[in-house]
């Protein structure tokens, strides 16, 4: 995994709408970049819905939420629609994005981990182990201290 102070890798990736993006596109914004294994699985759904429910408060703290898994953009679209998700999901089909962030598991999925990336593109917080039911509270606490 990457460490606090490291620059966020700028690997190109598609979002859930098929638009190519890089983390440098978010420069000037604080980004909560969370990795998760699969759409529509119990833990991943719990975590995503928690971010959905707390998004207004997170935005008030000046941050954007961006989720990443190795699922396809089409899978992400269904996940967003089914649960009313209100933030961007990135589709890491090549697995290069997850690999660059040090979260690619031997199974080919992303580990459940989160980075907070500051406005300057540097990592300010690292969460290598995440509990889906309490993670949003950790993120909010970290954003308040940042």
DSSP string, 51-116: HHHHHHHHHHTTEEEEEEESS-HHHHHHHHHHHT--SEEEE-TTSHHHHHTT-B-TTSSB-SEEEE
| CA dist., res. 46 & res. 135, Å (int) | 10
Q: What are the CA-CA distances from residue 77 to residues 81, 88, 97 (Å)?
A: 6, 10, 19
Catalytic residue (choose from 8, 44, 65, 130): 44
Q: Is 44 a catalytic residue?
A: yes
Instruction: Supply the residues annotated as catalytic.
Output: 44
């Amino acid at each position: 995994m990457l460490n606090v102070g490291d620059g966020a890798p700028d690997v190109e990736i598609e979002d859930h709408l098929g638009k190519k993006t890089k983390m440098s596109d978010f420069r000037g914004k604080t980004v909560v970049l969370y990795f998760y294994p699969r759409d529509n699985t119990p833990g991943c759904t719990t975590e995503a819905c928690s971010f959905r429910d707390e998004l207004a408060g997170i935005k008030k703290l000046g941050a954007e939420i961006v989720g990443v898994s190795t699922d396809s953009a089409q899978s992400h679209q269904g996940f967003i629609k089914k649960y009313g998700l209100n933030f961007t999901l990135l589709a890491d089909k090549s697995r290069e994005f997850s690999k660059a962030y040090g979260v690619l598991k031997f199974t080919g999925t992303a580990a459940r981990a989160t980075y907070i990336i500051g406005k300057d593109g540097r990592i300010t917080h690292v969460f290598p182990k995440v509990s889906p039911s309490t993670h949003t509270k950790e993120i909010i606490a970290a954003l308040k201290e940042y």
